[in-house]
């Protein structure tokens, strides 16, 4: 059986997990990255939104650490 990867960019980690699981997929690795986005909001996902993958595949996420990116002057 195949599943379509949901779009979770910009969602909170909890909401992203719910959407991924509702699509028949599993949450894979979760990496934190400094970002100006809200803490734990999803910045990147792999595989990308709309891709068709086998059910129970993993979707890896990059989420905001909540630590703003330092602007180097």
Q: How many CB atoms are closer than 10 A to CB 20?
A: 24
Q: Residue 16, SS3? A: helix
**Digitized pLDDT (tens) for each residue of the chain, 73 residues in all:** 999 999 999 999 999 999 999 999 999 999 999 999 999 999 999 999 999 999 999 999 999 999 988 876 6
The b-or-e profile of 36-69 (16+ CB within 10 A means b, else e) is: ebeebbbbebeeeeeeebeeebebebbbbbeeee
- Cα-Cα-Cα-Cα torsion 35, 19, 4, 23, nearest 10 degrees, comes to 150
């Amino acid at each position: 059986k195949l599943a379509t990867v949901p779009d979770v960019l910009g969602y909170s980690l909890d909401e992203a997990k719910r959407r991924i699981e509702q699509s028949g997929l599993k949450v894979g690795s979760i990496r934190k990255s400094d970002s100006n986005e809200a803490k734990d909001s999803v910045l990147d996902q792999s595989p990308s939104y709309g891709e068709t993958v086998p059910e129970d595949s993993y979707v890896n996420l990059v989420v905001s650490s909540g630590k703003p990116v330092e602007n180097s002057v």
